[in-house]
Structure 1
Amino acid sequence: MPRVLVIQNTRRSGPRRLGDWLRADGLELDVRLPFDGTPLPDRLDHDALVVLGGGFMPDDDERAPWLGSARSLISQALDDERPVLGICLGGQLLAHVGGGKVQADAGMPEHGSTSIQLRDETRDDPLLCDLPSEVTALEHHVDAVIDLPPNASWLASSEKCPHQAFRLGSCAWGLQFHPEAPATAILNWDADKLRRHGHDRELLYEQALTDEPTAERHWRAMAAAFARTVRERHRSRSCAAWRPPPVGEGRLSS
């Protein structure tokens, strides 16, 4: 079974329904909680990497000392062409490692169910090619990727945040939004902070509930596409690792 390393950066930012979907699609998840003091591995021996969100900048090593290890694992995954899915902070880490630029308090904050426009580049993208041109997902951020890495494929944008999704290489994706988060996640957000940004938490929750049935269907399809990519890469590596014995060896005696 293909194994996926999942880096959870805060107590509340677990894989949620994304974890359920990936397990249902035949992947084994190794969820690490480095904020609890559990070290991340030095080497990426897994078939894929998922990096979740958290309220840090990609180089905020003083507050989150494990981020250096997370950046190293992302770099290894890129070098080995192992699938990567970075969500919010995870996507910003991917951009940072790839040579892009992430800025704190960039542009206008986004909170709640948000309309996201998919660009023409998604037509050939393994992760997003089956989605419609406009989708909704939960947003909860004030930091953003302001410059994509060189040679990144720009996949999606929103009214307030241009870089909602991108791909590096053939199988590493960064997302600013939260496909893993259901509408109920909003109920755990700080209501006072939301008000300072001009939002009412209850109204955000009601809108997310309205959008959720369609949004959940779209992100379930995306999760299935990611799992399919992981399985295909896993099979390719397994076949490459096996070599037939030289002629005359490995046969039963008559």
Structure 2
Amino acid sequence: MKSFVIFKVGDTFPSLSAQLGDFDRWIINGIGPSTLPVTVVDPRTENALPDMDKVAAAVVTGSHSMVSDRAPWSENLAAWLRSAVEENIPVLGICYGHQLLAHALGGEVGYHPDGIELGTVCVSRTKAANDDPLFGGLPDEFPAHVVHRQSVLRLPPGAVRLACNDFEPHHAFRAGEIAWGVQFHPEFSADAMSGYVTELTDASKPGALPRDSISGQVRATSEAASLLPRFASLVAKRMDAQA
């Protein structure tokens, strides 16, 4: 049976993982019950990436690493994602995964000229999102959790821009028929977002951000969170159609 693969490309802060688990667990919880087996793959430590014919869909987590560093493991995963899109395998990239997917397909990734976006912010759908199978059911504006210093500065050729805000013009895009990238974090709970704000603005730690770096006060983000079960539902329907 094909697996729902989660590429775990980073780790949250130890203080958060001790309380809430790590990125892969947040995504599994967000997806909810699934008829597909879930396989977690860490490309930073595992040499071989999954064979395409064994993958029903792939989600790429966030990371504290930077796509522009071009780490060998990251470039290997980028090549895998490029092939997955060519094979029409459903893909969802989150934050780092969003940026890596864009890089893999010919977009440009780098540091955002205005620095960090941190907290819970308002994200707006574009008109193109109205007919998108993943974003079409969302409201025109919705709150979403964010923490990122790098962004997709230029979308890949042919990509469809799906969401944005005043800070980030490329909060979501679709490449091909069934591959998406989202800069915001649908897997973050309010507790996880609050934990990031606390960690990054802790004045006792080197490099702490000032409190006025927070882009928006933490609040519930049920609409953004709905993207994970929506994606899982699209994958399940696709598998049923191929059976």
Pairwise TM-score range, normalised by the shorter structure: 0.7 to 0.9
Deviation at 1:76, TM superposition (A): 1.7
CA offsets, 1:80-101, max 9 Å, x none? 1010000001000111111111
**Where do residues 79-228 of structure 1 align in structure 2 (5 Å cutoff)?**
79-185=86-192, 186-188=194-196, 189-191=199-201, 192=203, 193=207, 195-196=209-210, 198-199=212-213, 207-208=217-218, 211-212=219-220, 215-216=221-222, 218-228=223-233
Quick check: 1:2–1:234 contact (8 Å CA) kept in 2? no
Question: Is there any run of 5+ residues in structure 2 with no aligned partner, and where?
Answer: 13-21
1:15 aligns with 2:20: no
RMSD: 2.2
Distance in 2 of aligned mates of 1:102 and 1:136: 24
1:32 aligns with 2:37: no
Quick check: 1:2–1:231 contact (8 Å CA) kept in 2? no
Q: TM-score, normalised by structure 2?
A: 0.84
Deviation at 1:41, TM superposition (A): 1.4
Quick check: 2:99–2:151 contact (8 Å CA) kept in 1? yes
Q: Percentage identity across aligned positions?
A: 30
Question: Is there any run of 5+ residues in structure 1 with no aligned partner, and where?
Answer: 239-254
Deviation at 1:225, TM superposition (A): 1.8
Deviation at 1:58, TM superposition (A): 2.4
Quick check: 2:142–2:224 contact (8 Å CA) kept in 1? no
Q: State the match for 1:58 in structure 2.
A: 67
The AA in structure 2 aligned to 1:157 is C
Which structure has the bigger radius of gyration?
Answer: 1
Q: TM-score, normalised by structure 1?
A: 0.80
Deviation at 1:2, TM superposition (A): 4.9
The AA in structure 1 aligned to 2:185 is H
User: Equivalent of 1:234, from 212, 221, 239?
Assistant: 239
Distance in 2 of aligned mates of 1:136 and 1:16: 22
The AA in structure 2 aligned to 1:96 is H
Deviation at 1:124, TM superposition (A): 0.7
CA offsets, 1:229-252, max 9 Å, x none? 2112223433xxxxxxxxxxxxxx
SS at match of 1:34: coil
Cα 1:138–1:236 change in 2 (3 A) is same
Q: State the match for 1:248 in structure 2.
A: none
Any runs of at least 4 consecutive aligned residues in structure 1 with deviations exceeding 4 A, and if so which? none
Distance in 2 of aligned mates of 1:42 and 1:229: 21
Deviation at 1:59, TM superposition (A): 4.7
The AA in structure 2 aligned to 1:10 is G
Cα 1:59–1:43 change in 2 (3 A) is farther
The AA in structure 2 aligned to 1:198 is D
Deviation at 1:40, TM superposition (A): 4.2
Cα 1:69–1:23 change in 2 (3 A) is farther
